[in-house]
Amino acid sequence: MKIAVIGATGMVGTQILKVLAENSFPITELMLVASEKSVGKELAFGGSNHAIISMEDTISRAPHIAIFSAGGERSIEFANRFVEAGTTVIDNSSAFRMDADKKLIVPEINASELTKEDKIIANPNCSTIQMVLALSEIHKQYGIKRLVISTYQSITGTGVKAVKQMENERNELKGEMAYPYPIDKNCLPHGGDFQEDGYTSEEIKLVNETHKIFNDDSIGITATVVRVPVVGGHSESLNVETKKPFEVSDIRKIVADTQGVILQDNPDMNVYPMPKYTEGRNEVFVGRIRRDHSVENGLNMWVVADNLRKGAATNAVQIAEYLVENKLV
């Protein structure tokens, strides 16, 4: 299988290569693309070095699958050119997520919707992926009526510039700012760009992408995104109102049995998910499951995952694996 990774030197691209190697993905030829100034430099993969090549060279080699993680502008500019060359594109940016003719895929939930005709497949936003996976079986069995989301998102979701900002602040150094304020020892209720209604683009993604993945626009959803000085992963406090009554013990069992989810929920022993311990893991971790007594059929839960792994790289590689296993490429 000929595989291209677009944005191979970035934070997500680096993780894509790690997951491909860890999962022993069947690669016959690996093509690595980064910035033009990186062409000719080498990256190690599978025991050998691979030279970074240009986008044009990669298109001409017609990879079977191209995994894009180089930002929306690059995806818009080049994804369709790969498709014209016969390539199936898995895109990590927001460029195609809400296109009516593009599928938004979390493999454990809706990979079965994919066909050979799906040539550009969208990877959801990192915070959406972990949330919908944690909620997917609950929604199937009880129906979600309303969802109130508060996220506590790692600076790695912003990128290397944000990581450098925090490192500079901790070392009392001046440098380029990724955020309008200091991030170390601080929390910024500001994820993405502010819209006219006061919500941010990251908050709107959580609403729209959840509706699309669950194929259910009836769910009432509101979100607040907060950037925190953490590098290991995103955390989410979810307040869920279901259509049908439930027992908390049944919810715990449903969550524990959900593919790709690990239940960590034993308050008596101080067991609950934390981003410090999810870094580098491919699973979604869920804990603090308890009834919300303020509303009928109310539920609270805490969801944590490595945003560079399941929130981006792992999900993309899982899509590629599904395509190969089901002979869709």
Which residues are identified as catalytic? 126, 234
CB 264 within 8 A of CB 286: yes
- DSSP 8-class letter at 103: E
Query: Nearest to residue 225, comparing CAs of 123, 311, 304, 149?
Result: 149
> Hey, what are 157's tokens?
């979701």
In whole angstroms, how far apart are CA 238 and each of 115, 165, 189, 245, 271? 33, 29, 17, 17, 18
Decide the pairing of beta strands 48-53 and 29-33: parallel
- Strand 298-305 and strand 284-292: the pairing is antiparallel
Query: In Å, what is the CA distance from 307 to each residue of 145, 179, 299?
Result: 26, 19, 24
Q: Are 184 and 280 in contact (CB under 8 A)?
A: no
d(CA 186, CA 35) in angstroms, rounded, equals 33
Question: Which of 182, 181, 288 is closest to 235 using CA atoms?
Answer: 288
- Which amino acid makes up residue 107? P
User: β-strand 234-242 against 284-292: which pairing, if any?
Assistant: unpaired
Nearest to 125 by CA among 197, 217, 208, 34: 208
